[in-house]
Amino acid sequence: MPDLIEMLGDQEPLARAEAAEKLAVLGSTAKYAVPVLITVLDDTDADVRGAAAIALGRIGPDAHDAVDKLIGLLEDPMELVRWAALLGLGTYRACGSCGHPRFDRGAAEVPRPNAVCGC
């Protein structure tokens, strides 16, 4: 995984996007890439921003620090990035106790009220 994290800083946009896509496939095991993926959401290339948004969504609860940045991408000038941000945010919900974001992986998993917010 360190190689993929390093690739997120590559000069070539295609390499950066490919690294983010591979991290997305790794899902929650790629949680150590979250801080770098959050910075990649500011990339000048739309494909890279989109791939990072999807990767963060697939990482799950460990990517909760990205929620505000993903919400900001809903205003991105590129439609591809806006859709990717929606996918990244798609399974985030508000906690019933405090309103902070919480993440549910899907219907197969029992929702936990404090999965992200910690209340």
Percentage of the chain lying above the pLDDT 70 cut: 75
Enter the pTM of the model: 0.78
Angle, in degrees to the nearest 10, between helices 13-26 and 46-59: 10
Mean pLDDT within 57-65: 89
Domains in the chain, CATH or no CATH each: 2-93 (1.25.10.10)
CB 8, CB 49: distance < 8 Å: no
Q: pLDDT higher for 2 or 63?
A: 63
Angle, in degrees to the nearest 10, between helices 79-89 and 46-59: 10
Which residue shows structure tokens 């985030």?
A: 92
pLDDT at residue number 29:
94
Residue 105 pLDDT exceeds 50: no
C-alpha distance from residue 82 to each of 54, 59, 114 (Å): 11, 18, 27
Local confidence band at 60 (pLDDT 50, 70, 90 cut-offs)? confident
Mean pLDDT of the chain: 82
